[in-house]
Structure 1
Amino acid sequence: MPIEQAGPAPRATQRTLARELVLAYLIVAVLVGALLSLVSMWTVNRLETHLQQIDMGMALDRVRGEYLAGKDVGRGSRFFHGEPGSETFPAWLRRVEPGFTRIQHDDRDWHIMADDRDGVRYMLLRDYTAFEQRRVRSHWLTVVCVGASLFIAFLLGGAVTRRLVRPLVGLAEQVIKRPALPPQTQIAQAYPGNEIGRLAAAFDATYNQLEMALQRERLFTADVSHELRTPLTVISSSCELLLDDPELTPIQQQKLQRVHTASLDIHQQLAAYLMLARDSSDASGFSRSTIADAVEKELAHWSSRAQRLGLRLFAQYDTHYDTQRDTQRDTQRDKTADSSAAPAFPAALVRIALSNLIRNALQHASSGTQIVIRASASSFDVTDDGPGVAADIAPHVFAPFVTGGAARIDNLGLGLSLVQRICDHQGWRVTLDSQPGRGARFHIDLAPPATL
């Protein structure tokens, strides 16, 4: 069985691991840089305000002391004193509260320190326009520096990330191309002994074990095909020769014909199993039959076992299809049958699917259960009135090795899985309708889905 090829490589427009890492690095860098810038500017502003408040407080005390000592302070437009809110103060300063304040007036930035003593308000002004302009420029310079730092960090982070991710990209490409390489190839030799190297070594070990297992499976299926088909061919050819013997009694001919038919059926079933094992899509080599013919043969095969188990097994046919079958049988007797009267399907695959559904019903049914095979031209189902499928098992009933609680010891849980694989291979649809205590109905629709 050929090793399944890996899917196509992601397109260049899709996000790669390197892009994801660079994007994550950029987002973290922007958030951290913005946070640090905001905290820094807030801290600097608070510190400047506190220092200016201390400086202007000391300056106001000095000017007020000079004024009270009768000295000329020489600050007619910068130093004011009088009753709070009086006309001694300019109109735009009358509502200034005691303490440190910043005011913008006449396109100038003023820092004001006001203090009340003995009912008199003293107010000192300083023009900080040039200082504020320099501070704004310094803030913008900080933003530009942070942006430049982020850009440089982005470039460095991208380069470092690509350097770190490059081995992963190479490993991904080699994993995609690995099926085309010779068996037991070791791709881990091209990588150092770090995490990537260990990942490559783990892939080598797993892939090479899988390769060996697939090789053993190919050899096994080839051996089975050769070793079993050869004796089956001998049996079939011997039966054909013996059937030409005129000395055989009718009973002997009947029994020999049964052996011949059984060998042909086994040959077809073996071909079906090998086709599924090899995942081959060619089913043209199988003999074809209608669903009714397959139902009649399986009904004859399983009826005796059903009787021994105390079960009733019988078939029902769709009315329209039943009429077609009768017409087809009449025309076959006249050797003028119309091959299009009923569709034909690979006989071995239909019988394997039907046989496993019947076997499943027999294994899980209780005494007195009725098992009905209903067939139409392009579908059939197997229905029983037994205990049904448990609610917790129903969603997984077609999975391998899933068995019901009432299953016998010879049930490995592979029959329904085989039915599902055959249906998937042929494009058929199999469904289950069951309720605990009310039986189960397995339906297979062999008609291709309608196309719009």
Structure 2
Amino acid sequence: MTPEFAAQTPPRGGRRTLAREFVLTYLVLAVLVGGLLSLVSMWTVNRLERHLQQIDMGMALERVRGEFLSGKDVGRPDRFFHGEPGGDTFPRWLRQVEPGFTRLEHNDRDWHVMADDRDGVRYMLLRDYTAFEERRAHSHWVTVCSVGGGLLVAFLLGGALTRRFLRPLTRLAEQVVTRPELPPQTRLAQAYPENEIGRLAAAFDITYNQLEAALQREKLFTADVSHELRTPLTVISSSCELLLDDPALPAANRAKLQRMHAASREIHQQLAAYLMLSRGNAAADGFAQSDIATVVNEEVLHWSPRATQIGLRMESAIAPQNAAAQAPYYPAALLRIVLSNLIRNALQHAASGTCIALRASATTFEVADDGPGIADTVKPRVFSPFVRGGAANSDNLGLGLSLVQRICEHQGWRVTLDTAPGQGTRFLIDLSKR
């Protein structure tokens, strides 16, 4: 795990947090459930009130009608009417009332009306329920305000409880971000109870510590390999230097020793490059520097015999430089690794009889071929480790282009792929800093 991990972590102040999602979900559910319960309650109460009022008005009409038929005084005459249905004995606004219970508004008053027909005569009783309706409306508003207040209290309590429940999860997230700064094999789960968050912390401990151990093994392996290979390479290099100092050495042997000496130096530089990549943020200041043109010429000279052997043709074109301007220098070993892997990739996948072209300027170089190109199914994964094209042989492990991308990312270079089936492949490396 590297310090870059913390830089890739989403900011804490994001708009959509888990606590906010919980609170909003709780609020929506509370509003829906509270609103539904309020509507059902109000509808039920209204139906019950209407039913009770209908029973009460029916009983009152039956009593008043009995008193009327027996000749007794029925009280206020403007509240009890009888006569032919729709006749003049009824006020105009009551003539269209059907038998049964009815609620009416007249002269800004609320009236409950009960009508019943007996032997062709309609009996009608009125009651003024204006005050009752006002109290009922007031009670409805009280109910609505109570529900709203309850929802507000529930929202505040839900927010407080949600933050309390999520506080350990937030603390765990902060510890996960700063985990690379803690000692190896640190266990975060010890600070949490054995609930879901504790199990999450334990799962992270297991995964992180396994990754940490694997990374440590990889670093030790890289360091051990680099150390163990440098010793014989130093012996080879020093032996070559001693033999090259012999003036009696034949010219043919001198040329072979020079090639061996150069190869040992190149392997030594490659080991240093691989060790640098394994350390993540290590600088490349210790490498010998070179311009692009020199490295391109060396690689063309090195790979041309191999291209000719398999029936391919290599071409190179280097853009002329301004005599007054100094060409920029880059780590020579990294340039060679990138360029040689791109050329090797072209040699392995280009069909016989095609051309491999190298073009370079002061800050860019490219390797292009007019071979079969890269299939659309492989193109998105071409820089992934262990991905091989259809024409790759058994010696190709699918690591060359992955190594190219790793070096470019380390140095801040840009690598661009331009390919299509049947139209060749072109890799462009731009060494100008991003």
State the TM-score, normalizing by the size of structure 1.
Answer: 0.87
Distance 1:379 1:3, change over 3 A: closer
Q: CA deviation at 1:202?
A: 0.9
Distance 1:315 1:439, change over 3 A: same
1:24 aligns with 25
Distance 1:14 1:189, change over 3 A: same
1:332 aligns with none
Contact 2:104 2:112 in 1 (8 A): yes
What secondary structure, in the 3-state scheme, does the structure 1 residue paired with 2:115 have? strand
What secondary structure, in the 3-state scheme, does the structure 2 residue paired with 1:42 have? helix
Distance (whole Å) between structure 1 residues aligned to residue 87 and residue 219 of structure 2:
107
Alignment map for 1:33-432 (pairs within 5 Å): 33-312=34-313, 314-318=314-318, 321-322=319-320, 324=321, 340-432=325-417
Distance 1:58 1:151, change over 3 A: same
Q: CA deviation at 1:376?
A: 2.9
Question: Once the two structures are superposed, what CA deviation does each residue of 1:222-250 show, in whole Å capped at 9, x if it has no partner?
Answer: 22332233333343344334333333333
Question: Once the two structures are superposed, what CA deviation does each residue of 1:65-101 show, in whole Å capped at 9, x if it has no partner?
Answer: 3323333322311011234444433343334333322
Q: CA deviation at 1:56?
A: 1.2
Could you tell me which amino acid in structure 1 is paired with residue 123 of structure 2?
Y
Gapped regions of structure 2 (runs ≥ 5): none
2:431 counterpart of 1:446: yes
Contact 2:300 2:316 in 1 (8 A): no
Distance (whole Å) between structure 2 residues aligned to residue 264 and residue 422 of structure 1:
19
Distance 1:187 1:372, change over 3 A: same
Distance 1:131 1:78, change over 3 A: same
Q: CA deviation at 1:385?
A: 2.5
Distance (whole Å) between structure 2 residues aligned to residue 379 and residue 26 of structure 1:
58
Q: Which deviates more, 241-250 or 214-223?
A: 241-250
Distance (whole Å) between structure 2 residues aligned to residue 27 and residue 264 of structure 1:
70
Q: CA deviation at 1:118?
A: 4.5
What secondary structure, in the 3-state scheme, does the structure 1 residue paired with 2:78 have? coil
Distance (whole Å) between structure 1 residues aligned to residue 31 and residue 203 of structure 2:
38
Contact 1:239 1:256 in 2 (8 A): yes
Distance (whole Å) between structure 2 residues aligned to residue 420 and residue 161 of structure 1:
45
Distance 1:427 1:9, change over 3 A: closer
Q: CA deviation at 1:219?
A: 1.6
Distance (whole Å) between structure 2 residues aligned to residue 214 and residue 422 of structure 1:
19
Could you tell me which amino acid in structure 1 is paired with residue 89 of structure 2?
T
What secondary structure, in the 3-state scheme, does the structure 1 residue paired with 2:77 have? coil
Contact 1:372 1:384 in 2 (8 A): yes
Q: Which deviates more, 235-244 or 73-82?
A: 235-244
Contact 1:294 1:347 in 2 (8 A): yes
Distance 1:221 1:201, change over 3 A: same
Q: CA deviation at 1:415?
A: 0.7
Q: CA deviation at 1:311?
A: 2.2
Q: CA deviation at 1:142?
A: 2.2
Distance 1:154 1:342, change over 3 A: closer
Could you tell me which amino acid in structure 2 is paired with residue 92 of structure 1?
W
What secondary structure, in the 3-state scheme, does the structure 1 residue paired with 2:178 have? helix
The alignment covers a number of residue pairs equal to 433
Q: CA deviation at 1:4?
A: 4.6
Distance (whole Å) between structure 2 residues aligned to residue 224 and residue 67 of structure 1:
119
Distance 1:193 1:252, change over 3 A: same
1:331 aligns with none
Distance (whole Å) between structure 2 residues aligned to residue 215 and residue 72 of structure 1:
108
Could you tell me which amino acid in structure 2 is paired with residue 58 of structure 1?
M
Contact 1:364 1:408 in 2 (8 A): no
Q: CA deviation at 1:164?
A: 2.7
Distance (whole Å) between structure 2 residues aligned to residue 111 and residue 363 of structure 1:
98
Q: CA deviation at 1:105?
A: 2.9
Could you tell me which amino acid in structure 2 is paired with residue 434 of structure 1?
T
Distance 1:355 1:12, change over 3 A: closer
Q: CA deviation at 1:38?
A: 0.8
Contact 1:295 1:315 in 2 (8 A): no
Question: Once the two structures are superposed, what CA deviation does each residue of 1:295-317 show, in whole Å capped at 9, x if it has no partner?
Answer: 221122222222222222x2231
Distance (whole Å) between structure 2 residues aligned to residue 358 and residue 12 of structure 1:
47
Distance 1:408 1:210, change over 3 A: same
